[in-house]
Amino acid sequence: MSITMKTTPKRRFKINRVAALVTTSLLASMAITPSVYAQQKLAQDDQQMETIEVRGIRRSLEASMNTKRFANAVVDAITSEDIGKFPDKNIGDALQRISGVTVDRQYGEVSGVTIRGTAPEQSRVLLNGQSVASTSWYDLGPATRTFNMELLSAEQVSAVEVYKTPKASIEEGALGGTVDLTTRQPLDLDTNTLMVSAELARGSLYDETDAGGAFLASWKDEQERFGILASYSIEQLTSGRHVLESIGSYYEYFAADPGTGQESTVGAWAIGSQAFRAERERTSAQLTAQFAPTDNTEFVLDYFRFELDNPHVNHNFLTVGGRGSGSENVQNNALGGTEQATITPAYASIIYNPVVRNAVNMKADVLNLSGKYIGDTYEVSAVLGQSTSDGGTQFGASSWWIPATDEGDKIGDPAFANGQNSTDGGFSYDATGPYQVWLSSLDATDASQFKHAQEANFQTTVQEHDIRYAQADIKWLLSGDLFTSIEAGVKVNSSEFSRVAIHRNPADVIGFVPNGNLSNWSDGVFTDLHSQSSGHILDSYAKLDEDQWWDFISGKYEAGELIETPALGDTFGVDEDMLALYVQSDFSGEYFRGNVGLRYVDTEQTSSGYADGQAFKETVDYDNWLPSINIAFDVSDDVIVRAAASSVMSRVNYSDLKPGLAIQENFGSANGGNPYLKPYEADQADLGVEYYFTEASLFSAAAFVKQIDNVVFLTEEVEFVDGCGAQPSEYDSCRVTRPRSNGDGDVTGLELQLQHTFANGFGFVSNYTYVDSETTRPDGATEMVPGVSENSFNGSLFYENDHISARIAYNWRSEWIGVGAAQAVRNDDYQQWDASIVWHAMENLDISLEGVNLTNEVIQSYDTNYGLTQNTIEFGSRYYLSASYKF
């Protein structure tokens, strides 16, 4: 079945509204401007941008500020001061220094970015202006369009530009902003450039030291017509996170009893400790050939390889109160949430659940060929490329261990078959702060009290993403009084995404594990796990020898003793064929400059998947018209006023597009994905002022608004579904729960930026962002956008001279909504201190020391309904000692 969705009359009105705003702004700029720039003035601006020599923190700031100042859009930039000297350890850490940008940390390092009040998956990451295929190593979450920043090393990147307002020539798909990463090319470097570096890394959670290094070599001939660049980097780090958490949904422990005065109380299904340990290895490689046969012609062939190996073990120790039927000594907060309770043994369970994933990986390959020819009055360019990515958990092994006594050598299931008896599982807990738990009598550090119980599975969840594109552009220089150039282009883009999940289990768990006492499989005891809440049972317990268990379960798999079962509900694919056309014109006058353009994109989307064991495939076609205008008014030599307006779009997450419904016939209900979801669409406007009061000093303020349509919510509606009900007469009243594009949203924000360098070598960079971002459900209820903080602040203080460069950086964000395992959570304010110092030991030798999260800050989260503690996440501090030499 296929359908075609075209722009609705309402949407046409909104597009026409923006088009009118574009036209009005352009006419206004013509009316207030007495004369126009000559084309030579633009050439002078370009030359000024190109001749900056970038060395040191100050020069890096000057280059970044220069990019912002002369851009024909609202842009912020980060520039590497030299080869291999990006200002932060990775791209994500650097992006958080930009106003309007906040970051998401899942396992310590930055994994996603939020730009101007929109979700991470609604921003785009480009490499040299082109899309990069992206997957994830994480196998439990939904398949989103978020580009995982953990994949990228900073070694090859020379500059990062964040476009907060679009131009018609930039690829569509960003509701928040577009991050464009620029890499180095050999003809831009000195002949025979060579850089080598070595690094030692250490994380505070596991106190292990890992080695890394990088090199870059670049050569070009004497005529500077042909050059080759090769680079490679490897980073290793033993890291992870320690988490105290509630697991599952909240249940009513006691119903209200008016006769006794007992109030209704609500508590967590389970409370647990998570000790996640990963041995990360990130590698990246670049090979670039650049050929300029004439002064007017250039060809560039790029190949990139990015890879992250992330084998890890996740130890989970769970105290399960179930539905709290055996609760005593209950104390509640004002919202009816249980903050303290004792769970009696008859209603409690203790579970130790280690999960070993030794084959966890994600990687991306990019092959890109570009060429351009510059004539007297025109420029022609073309790009042909492919990007592929695959990631996920190739193999993961999970198991459950419970306190039990056994008779003989057979270990049973949680029902304690074959003569087993449960030992005391009672416990007490305190949730007034980070969770604290005390067992009634069980010694969790005694491995002999735990037996293998329920599961011994071997899991595979993998994603694949393939992007192929071809693009052609032409630009004409004009001699008119207003418009200086006009360009047009076409791009064909094909994207194929798939996710496959497989579970492998023994036919019979009972007796599957020989010598099933944990004492035969343990390699010690965790101690002092949670620095934020020590002195209770969850900070010390016996642990599994992950290598021993991995060898056992993988051997069973290789011997064919595990039954393979495809997880069809988590297996699906989304293919998209996109055709984009655009036209854009640059204009300038004596006191203004900018661009105006229109981009059209048509998308044919085919979703495939399974529901109730049946295969489904649906095809949808939709198109978008995306006008934009950017104007910069040069009020004086040092002051610029900017205005912009545009329509933008962002495609929805892959997981939401799964076709088919899982039907609960007896209940008259069904649930599933929705291949007919419309893309997010928004109209947005910006107004800002920039004051450049010295060469490396800036004050700026910018206000922005976004009106968002087609916001996706998971809702229930009555639909006709064949087979949903006890008899056909009930089929047209099936209660169907699925994501639907029936909400809207509004974003209003303000960005302030101030940076200054003093003559004595000191300087500072700071910014503040305010964002009021909310979405409205179909019933009128409003919600905060996940991942968005209302207030955020970044500040850096630096000092440099001929011998050292030092910086201390501070990052703070107010509370924000996150996504927990079973419900939304409210994350408390978060702050982080980072610092670095570089010693210029010799002319070409630098030695540096860098620390990340110096004060070991944690993320503290709470349930949004009852105010109960949800998670306390500790990442630890990270330290890096490195040396680099440039020949």
Express each pLDDT in 194-246 by its tens digit.
Answer: 999 999 999 999 889 999 999 999 999 999 999 999 999 999 999 999 999 88
**pLDDT at position 423:** 54
Q: 350 has which bridge partners?
A: 319
Residue with tokens 């994480």: 138
How far is Cα 733 from Cα 4, in angstroms, rounded to an integer?
Answer: 26
**pLDDT at position 261:** 63
**pLDDT at position 820:** 61
Residue with tokens 């992006």: 95
SS3 580: strand
Strand 869-874 with 858-863, pairing: antiparallel
- 826-860 per-position pLDDT tens digit: 999 999 999 999 999 998 999 999 999 999 999 99
The answer to whether 364 and 448 are in contact (CB under 8 A) is no
**pLDDT at position 151:** 82
**pLDDT at position 647:** 98
Cα–Cα distances in Å, from 165 out to 76, 151, 588, 630, 708? Answer: 11, 26, 18, 8, 15
**pLDDT at position 542:** 94
Dihedral angle sign, alpha carbons of residues 217, 221, 224, 226: negative
The answer to whether 15 and 6 are in contact (CB under 8 A) is no
How far is Cα 244 from Cα 100, in angstroms, rounded to an integer?
Answer: 31
Across 762-776, average pLDDT: 94
Q: How confident is the model at residue 376 (pLDDT cuts 50, 70, 90)?
A: very high
Architecture of domain 2-400+459-504+564-886: Beta Barrel (2.40)
Q: 255 has which bridge partners?
A: none
Nearest Cα residue to 757 out of 793, 689, 792, 805: 805
**pLDDT at position 93:** 83
**pLDDT at position 84:** 63
The answer to whether 708 and 788 are in contact (CB under 8 A) is no
**pLDDT at position 146:** 82
**pLDDT at position 260:** 62
Q: How confident is the model at residue 510 (pLDDT cuts 50, 70, 90)?
A: low
Across 371-397, average pLDDT: 94
**pLDDT at position 6:** 34
User: DSSP of 301-368, one letter per residue?
Assistant: EEEEEEEEE--EEEEEEEEE-TT-TTEEEEEE-TTSBEEEEEE-GGG-EEEEEEEEEEEEEEEEEEEE
How far is Cα 323 from Cα 251, in angstroms, rounded to an integer?
Answer: 6
User: DSSP of 735-785, one letter per residue?
Assistant: EEEEEEEEEEEEEEEEEEEEEEE-TTSEEEEEEEEEEEEEEE-TTS-EEEP
Looking at the chain, the whole-number percentage of residues with pLDDT higher than 90 is 53
Most confident of 309-323, 401-415, 831-845, 861-875: 831-845
How far is Cα 451 from Cα 284, in angstroms, rounded to an integer?
Answer: 43
Across 737-763, average pLDDT: 94
Instruction: Output the average pLDDT for the chain.
Output: 85
| Residue 863: both structure tokens together | 């349930």
**pLDDT at position 324:** 55
Question: pTM of the predicted model, to two decimals?
Answer: 0.87
- 511-549 per-position pLDDT tens digit: 678 877 899 999 999 887 888 776 677 888 999 999 998
- 142-179 per-position pLDDT tens digit: 788 888 888 887 778 889 999 999 999 999 999 999 99
